[in-house]
Amino acid sequence: MHTPHVGNPHPPPNVIRTLAMEEPTISTAKDDGLLVQIASYNTNLQGVLGLPQDLVDWLQPTLQVSKFLAGGARAPDIVAVGFQELLPLHLGLAGWSEAVLNNRNELILSQIEELAPKKESYSLVAKIANVGIALLVYARDDGLARRVADVQTTWTGSGPAFMGNKGAVGVRFRVAGEGEDDGEVFTFVNCHLTAHTPNRQARIKDYKHIVSTLLFNPTSVDPKESPLKTLYDTSHLFVFGDMNFRVELPSTHSLYDVAKTPLFSDAISAEATRKELVEHDQLTQEMRKGNVFVGLHEGDFWRFKCSYKYKIGTVDQYSTKRTPSWTDRILYATYTDTPEKSSVKNLAYTSIPSYTTSDHKPIVAVLLLPPSARNAAPSQVIPTITLPASYKPSADPQANLKRYIGKTLDRFVGIIWWIFTILGAGSGIFGLVNFLVGLGAFTWWKGRPVDGYAPTPNV
């Protein structure tokens, strides 16, 4: 059972209108490419309580946007849903995310099938969680799901000593073509990078670590001697999550003095103002330099308000502790892209304000892939993304060692933290205090005088 979420029971009408107006109407002829829906949400540990949440408002707008495509409603071919901070950290570190992940799977599956234009059914392709970072990918039963093969999941941690409080999880699968065509490979990666404005370089380091350690095995159609693959060895790549890159305003900027005040929300109500803030978005700056997310593209994220940091319990009030920023992002690439332009159509890219149990707003995107460039001439060579000649991602030979060092520390810290939480009736800090007090009392009891005589000291 899940509890109702704190928010509107239906998506605000203005959200649907925004989605519809972001792109011109797109044809949905039979030879059109696949429709991919991406959703990402940092749940902020569900208000530090790990509570389930109704996902209707989050998923419905992305499905509704398909109604604005020419030719009528169309259900997504693939749905990928990513969470960050899915449950309290000590439970995630201890490896007890499975029950929450299964709950999310049942809820998401029921919602996407209920909201699909013709009640299309879906199958779970794969799900994976590492600490609080989770990813679930679904495919439509009447099409893509029938051709899915070589499904893989993987994870990596980029926290202290490679722990999984930060890092990424990934899902990869091959969609077989017709006849002798080996098809194309799809890769979905959900990330959670280092927080706080000054830690820009740490986020860049996180991403480079993810590229070199989030590795996949060769598919069944790859040569036997083929090495481990990075996230870039794919036909289609979708990278999303809480990237934690911030809007960093110079002191001379007109909004600098109101950035951490209640006035900022109104100040960025105008789309033109938000578009100007793009120049001060750390992620945009670093992508232009070629430091992160090389080869990937993104829709106009400035069309919606900054997704972080909100006052919990409010729809449109930012916290005054941080400069509001677009920390939550969705990026993509396909093998027909050029460095300057993606051939993916970004039909929708927005946040859902009605969610109020987190300091983040969930974000969603609907992406229309181009028709396969292989239809006319099927091939046994799987196409892959083209990268700049200067960028050559490679697998870290010590990737597994680093991953399992992090995993071991996760479990050790998580279980100890869980024990302290039990001792503290829900608070790890109080549990630690209770433990120390108890240890002190036990030490005193062991050293107390017996029958009026003090214990004889050792000589």
Residue range 233-246, pLDDT digits in tens:
999 999 999 999 99
Average pLDDT over residues 250-268: 97
Residue range 329-340, pLDDT digits in tens:
999 999 999 989
Average pLDDT over residues 379-395: 92
Identity of residue 294:
V
Q: What percent of the chain has pLDDT over 90?
A: 66
Residue holding tokens 């292989």?
Answer: 374
Higher pLDDT, residue 124 or 446 = 124
Residue range 104-154, pLDDT digits in tens:
899 899 989 988 888 899 999 999 999 999 999 999 999 999 999 999 999
Cα–Cα distance between 309 and 360 in angstroms, integer?
6
Collect contacts of 105-109 with beta carbons under 8 A, ≥24 apart: 105/136, 107/2, 107/52, 107/54, 107/55, 108/55, 108/59, 108/79, 108/81, 108/136, 108/138, 109/138
pLDDT score at 67: 57
Average pLDDT over residues 205-219: 98
Higher pLDDT, residue 381 or 442 = 381
Closest Cα to residue 53, out of 93, 96, 83?
A: 83
pLDDT score at 18: 37
Cα–Cα distance between 59 and 82 in angstroms, integer?
12
Average pLDDT over residues 298-322: 96
CATH topology for 13-399 is Deoxyribonuclease I; Chain A (3.60.10)
pLDDT score at 433: 43
pLDDT score at 82: 96
Residue holding tokens 């159609």?
Answer: 221
Per-residue confidence band for 449, with pLDDT thresholds at 50, 70 and 90: low
Cα–Cα distance between 335 and 384 in angstroms, integer?
5
Q: Which range is least confidently modeled, 140-149, 295-304, 382-391, 447-456?
A: 447-456
Does the pLDDT of residue 411 top 60, yes or no?
yes
Please indicate, yes or no, whether the overall pTM of this predicted structure exceeds 0.75: yes
Average pLDDT over residues 94-110: 90
Average pLDDT over residues 334-363: 93
Higher pLDDT, residue 389 or 427 = 389
pLDDT score at 16: 32
| 57 Cβ neighbours under 8 A, 6+ residues apart | 5, 7, 8, 9, 10, 11, 352, 354, 355
Closest Cα to residue 63, out of 6, 7, 104, 122?
A: 122
Residue holding tokens 């002829």?
Answer: 29
- DSSP character at residue 157: E
> DSSP string of 210-265?
HHHHS-BPPPTTS-TT---B-TTSSSEEEEEEE----B---TTSTTGGGTTSTTHH
Average pLDDT over residues 399-404: 98
Does the pLDDT of residue 444 top 70, yes or no?
no
CA–CA distances in Å: residue 454 to residues 51, 289, 438, 444, 447: 53, 72, 22, 12, 8
Closest Cα to residue 352, out of 22, 39, 117, 24?
A: 39
Per-residue confidence band for 103, with pLDDT thresholds at 50, 70 and 90: confident
Does the pLDDT of residue 295 top 90, yes or no?
yes
Strand pairing class (236-242; 184-192): parallel
Cα–Cα distance between 119 and 35 in angstroms, integer?
16
pLDDT score at 25: 37
Task: Report the chain's mean pLDDT, rounded to a whole number.
Answer: 85
Does the pLDDT of residue 399 top 50, yes or no?
yes
Q: Which range is least confidently modeled, 30-44, 165-179, 251-265, 333-347?
A: 30-44
Cα–Cα distance between 319 and 312 in angstroms, integer?
8
Domain ranges of the chain: 13-399
Closest Cα to residue 274, out of 283, 261, 265?
A: 265
pLDDT score at 328: 98
CA–CA distances in Å: residue 129 to residues 23, 331, 340, 415, 424: 34, 20, 34, 17, 27
pLDDT score at 218: 96
Cα of first residue to Cα of last residue in the chain, in angstroms, is 65
- DSSP character at residue 160: G
| 374 Cβ neighbours under 8 A, 6+ residues apart | 177, 181, 184, 383
Q: What percent of the chain has pLDDT over 70?
A: 79
Does the pLDDT of residue 440 top 90, yes or no?
no
- DSSP character at residue 451: T
Cα–Cα distance between 440 and 443 in angstroms, integer?
5
pLDDT score at 22: 39
